[in-house]
């Protein structure tokens, strides 16, 4: 390899990446970044899934004529009047 080969951008990038991969500090930072990145992706996925489950639950409840817990307005009114009257 001639000296001018080391000044090519591809060679410089490969040499830099090789040096970084051999550095314990860089490997530690990259590993930590990968772990935190995956944790963030998993958390976002759980959040989206929870929102979707809630939306489905609400849609089913409104379709069935009830509230979010699946009970109807009449049943809730009956229960609340019984609670007031003590029966």
Q: Give 32-71 pLDDT, tens digit per residue.
A: 999 999 999 999 999 999 999 999 999 999 988 765 555 5
What is the spatial distance between Cα 80 and Cα 74, in angstroms, rounded to a whole number?
10
Q: Which residue has the higher pLDDT, 74 or 38?
A: 38
Looking at per-residue confidence, does 2 or 20 come out higher?
20
Mean per-residue pLDDT, 2-29: 83
Burial of residue 71 (number of CB atoms within 10 Å: 0-12, 13-18, 19+): middle
Q: Please give the Cα distance from 20 to 31 (Å, whole number).
A: 13
Q: Which domain does 16 fall in, by range?
A: 8-45
Number of structural domains the chain divides into: 1
Residue 66 lies in a domain: no
Cβ contact 68:61 at 8 Å: yes
pLDDT at residue 68 in the model: 52
pLDDT value at position 52? Answer: 95
Radius of gyration in angstroms for the set of CA atoms belonging to the chain, rounded to a whole number: 30
pTM here is: 0.51
Is 81 within a domain?
Answer: no
Q: Which pLDDT score is estimated for 49?
A: 96
Residue 12 belongs to some domain of the structure: yes
Q: Is residue 24 part of a domain?
A: yes
């Amino acid at each position: 390899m001639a000296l001018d080969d080391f000044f090519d951008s591809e060679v410089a990038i490969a040499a830099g990446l090789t040096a970084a991969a051999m550095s314990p500090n860089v490997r530690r930072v990259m590993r930590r970044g990968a772990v935190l990145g995956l944790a963030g992706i998993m958390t976002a996925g759980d959040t989206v899934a929870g929102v979707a489950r809630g939306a489905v639950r609400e849609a089913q409840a409104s379709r069935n004529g009830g509230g979010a817990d699946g009970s109807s307005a009449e049943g809730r009114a009956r229960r609340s009047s019984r609670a007031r009257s003590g029966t």
